[in-house]
């Protein structure tokens, strides 16, 4: 006996499909010849997060004179001082919403099988910035004065929308500029946002409404340690 059940959109046995991808860690800083391991993480339609198999991901570096990356593998090696963008690319199958479930009886036991229609193949990409500095990063300082390594506690933006550039430096050395490589965070994006994760133009705060927010920067060094800057209290007047 064969029984066929048909379902569309949210019906029988619809597995969650991957919707987007990101790279972990979100930023990295390392010295020449040091390495850092990256992983591509898939975000699924049911909210779950799961590592994408390394054999399904292709990795590339925007500048192999600064940093190389193994592909497959995602192992980044520092080469020379500067910032390189590492890109992960994965081709995934997105399951269609129309499915047919077949229930058959064999030797008195039910057997279920499923065929889904409308599957599509999509290419997902994600990037992070990797900074290669003369030495491993042990501490990071942020401020609003370029080439300054003075730890700053407060900053102000007048009006909205308006912008203010933030800078990040490693180990008290103005030549170790991490501005484009760190992950920038605003604790209250309804007051001000800050650009992060782009190939350039990172650390630019943009005011949204009056109030205060904490601006911080983080990166992962070659020892796998997360290095956090001090927080700057940004006030939007």
pLDDT tens-place string over residues 162-193: 999 999 999 999 988 999 989 999 999 999 99
H or E element at residue 10: none
Judge whether residue 232 has pLDDT over 50. Answer: yes
pLDDT value of residue 3: 47
Task: Give pLDDT tens digits for 70-129.
Answer: 999 999 999 998 899 999 999 887 665 556 666 676 666 767 676 666 667 789 999 999
Angstrom CA distances, 207 to 40, 45, 82, stand at 32, 32, 29
Residue entry with tokens 């499909």: 17
pLDDT for the residue numbered 196: 94
Which residue, 117, 82, 120, 95, is CA-closest to 44?
A: 95
Give CATH 2.60.40 domain extents, the chain: 2-132, 140-236
Residue 237's alpha-carbon distances to 140, 162, 190, in angstroms, are 27, 11, 13
The predicted structure's pLDDT at residue 154: 98
> pLDDT of 37-68, one tens digit each?
999 999 988 888 999 988 889 999 999 999 99
CATH code for the structural domain at 2-132: 2.60.40
Say what the pLDDT of residue 105 is.
Answer: 67
Q: Quote the pLDDT of residue 198.
A: 86
Q: Which two tokens stand for residue 166?
A: 């933030």
Could you give the C-alpha distances from 78 to 11, 71, 208, 222, 227, in angstroms and in order? 49, 15, 38, 9, 18
pLDDT at 115: 63
209 CB neighbour count, 10 Å cutoff: 11
pLDDT of residue 118: 62
pLDDT at 107: 67
Residue 45: CB atoms within 10 A of its CB come to 14
CA angle 175, 178, 179 (to 5 degrees): 115
In this prediction, residues 210-226 reach a mean pLDDT of 93
Pairing, β 98-106 against β 2-8: antiparallel
What mean pLDDT do residues 229-236 have?
Answer: 98
By the 8 A CB rule, do 129 and 27 touch?
yes
What is the mean pLDDT of the segment spanning 1-21?
58
User: How remote is the C-alpha of 45 from its chain's centroid?
Assistant: 18
CA angle 142, 148, 151 (to 5 degrees): 45
DSSP 3-state of 213 = strand
Q: Which CATH class, in words, describes the domain spanning 140-236?
A: mainly beta
pLDDT at residue 144, rounded to an integer: 98
CA distance 157 to 61: 36
Would you state the structure tokens that stand for residue 135, as one six-digit string? Answer: 């030495």
């Amino acid at each position: 006996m064969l029984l066929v059940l048909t379902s569309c959109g949210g019906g029988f046995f619809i597995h969650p499909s991957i919707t987007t991808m990101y790279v972990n860690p979100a930023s990295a800083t390392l010295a020449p010849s040091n390495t850092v391991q990256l992983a591509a993480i898939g975000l699924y339609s049911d909210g779950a997060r799961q590592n994408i198999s390394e054999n399904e991901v292709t990795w590339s570096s925007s500048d192999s004179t600064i940093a190389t990356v193994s592909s497959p593998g995602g192992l980044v090696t520092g080469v020379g001082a500067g910032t390189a963008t590492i890109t992960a690319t994965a081709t995934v199958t997105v399951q269609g919403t129309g499915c047919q479930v077949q229930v058959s009886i064999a030797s008195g036991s039910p057997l279920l099988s499923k065929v889904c229609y409308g599957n599509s193949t999509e290419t997902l990409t994600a990037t992070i910035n990797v900074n290669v500095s003369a030495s491993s990063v042990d501490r990071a300082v942020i401020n609003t004065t370029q080439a300054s390594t003075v730890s700053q506690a407060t900053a102000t933006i007048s009006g909205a929308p308006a912008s203010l550039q933030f800078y990040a430096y490693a180990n008290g050395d103005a030549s170790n500029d991490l501005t484009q490589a760190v992950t920038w965070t605003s604790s209250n994006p309804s007051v001000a946002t800050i650009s992060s994760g782009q190939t350039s133009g990172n650390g630019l705060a943009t005011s949204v409404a009056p109030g205060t927010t904490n601006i911080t920067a983080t990166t992962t060094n070659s020892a796998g340690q997360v290095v956090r800057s001090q927080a700057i209290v940004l006030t939007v007047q």
